Amino acid sequence: MTNFRSHRKLAMSSVAAAALALAGCTNAESEPTASAPLTSSASDSEDRNSDAKAFKASDGAMTAVPTGTAPQSEAPSPDAALAVTDMLVTSHDGFDRVIYELGGTGTPGWRADIVETAVQQGSGHTITVNGQGILQVLIDGSSIPSTIGIEPYSGPNPLEVENPGVVTEVQEAGVFEGTTQTLIGLSKPDVSFHVYSLSDPTRLVVDVAH
């Protein structure tokens, strides 16, 4: 913060000097820069909350850098009825992590593969994805949020990544016939990745190697 000093002649009565000193204090309190620490503190608090949320979402996740490029799949549990409630992207040593938080019952299944073009399920419309490559992740065992009493994801869609590593953005493209379609934009066309689920709370995690 910049300090301002006022140079004044001191040839004045003690009463006048006291009055000027009091006026100086009043002026200092009215400086607009006094609000800067409050703004900074609020921003820092938001960052801490965001970091804490990401740390909690990653609880129990793997730490090894993924090495496989082949398509990956897993069947959902028979009772699965899930909906995406949040999406997060975090950066780690050697890989980026995409986390889908899920509400509902059961365990999700998935089908993940690198695709050349993103085509929306049901409509057949082409979806534009920011990046040089696309990792499509289909979350099986999904339901339309309103049918299972779940508040749907309401954040940015696509979720764009600031200062991206390998993951540039994540899109949720809707639910069709029990599957939520999601698309992960990549900064390069071919990547190694690993998909797995976590419980308490239910999450689907996608680790993508740098």
Cis check for the bond before 158: say yes or no (omega within 30 of 0).
Answer: yes
Distance CA 7, CA 94 (A): 57
Could you tell me which residues are beta bridge partners of residue 172? Answer: 182
Question: Phi then psi for 33, rounded to 5 degrees?
Answer: -65, -15
| Mean pLDDT, rounded, for 17-42 | 36
Supply the pTM of this predicted model: 0.75
Neighbours of 48 (CB within 10 A): 10
Answer whether residue 8 shows pLDDT above 60. Answer: no
Taking only the tens place, the pLDDT of each residue in 83-108 is: 999 999 999 999 999 999 999 999 99
Q: What SS3 state is found at 115?
A: strand
Are residues 90 and 53 in contact, defined by beta-carbon separation less than 8 angstroms?
no
Q: What SS3 state is found at 189?
A: coil
Pick the residue with more confidence: 96 or 38? 96
Taking only the tens place, the pLDDT of each residue in 121-163 is: 999 999 999 999 999 999 999 999 999 999 999 999 999 999 8
Q: Which fold has domain 58-209?
A: Immunoglobulin-like (2.60.40)
Percent of the chain with pLDDT over 70: 73
